[in-house]
C-alpha cells in the first residue's frame, strides 16, 4: 500500500521536469528562429536594422504573448552583416522566470552591401 504513493510522486515529478525542460528548449529555439527571421527581414532591400528588431519582437509576441518580456535590438556591422539580438526571460516555472534569462542572436548579410 505505501509503495504506490511514494513511487507515483517520483514519477509525476520526473514527468513535470521533463515537460518543463521541453518548454525551455522550445522557448530557446523559438527565440533563435525569431532572431534569424528578424535578421533576414532587416537584410532585405529597403529594410533597416530596426525593421528586423520589430519583426523579431512581433514573432515572439505572436508565439508567447507578453509572458517573456522579450526585447530585440539590431545593428549593422561594418562588414555588412546585420545582427539581431533577442533577450528574454527564461521560463523556469511555466512561462515565468528570472528577468535576465537568455540572449540569442541571428545574423544575415545585408542585400544592399553586395
**Percentage of the chain exceeding pLDDT 90:** 60
Apex CA 56: angle with CA 26 and CA 35, to 5°?
A: 60
Burial of 34 (0-12, 13-18, 19+ CB in 10 A): buried
* pLDDT for 81: 93
pTM of this structure: 0.85
Terminal Cα-to-Cα distance of the chain (whole angstroms): 73
* pLDDT for 45: 86
CATH number at residue 98: 3.10.450
pLDDT tens, position by position, 67-76: 888 899 999 9
* pLDDT for 66: 83
Q: Can you tell me the mean pLDDT for 37-47?
A: 93
User: Into how many domains does the chain fold?
Assistant: 1
- Asked if the model's pLDDT at residue 10 lies above 70, the reply is yes
For the chain, give the mean pLDDT: 89
DSSP letter assigned to residue 96: B
Amino acid at each position: 500500500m505505501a509503495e504506490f504513493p511514494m513511487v507515483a510522486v517520483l514519477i509525476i515529478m520526473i514527468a513535470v521536469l521533463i515537460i518543463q525542460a521541453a518548454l525551455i528548449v522550445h522557448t530557446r529555439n523559438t527565440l533563435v528562429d525569431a532572431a534569424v527571421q528578424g535578421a533576414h527581414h532587416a537584410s532585405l532591400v529597403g529594410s533597416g536594422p530596426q525593421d528586423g528588431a520589430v519583426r523579431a519582437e512581433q514573432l515572439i509576441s505572436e508565439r508567447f504573448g507578453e509572458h517573456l518580456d522579450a526585447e530585440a535590438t539590431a545593428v549593422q556591422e561594418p562588414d555588412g552583416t546585420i545582427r539581431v539580438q533577442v533577450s528574454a526571460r527564461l521560463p523556469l516555472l511555466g512561462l515565468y522566470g528570472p528577468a535576465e534569462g537568455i540572449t540569442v542572436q541571428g545574423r544575415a548579410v545585408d542585400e544592399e552591401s553586395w
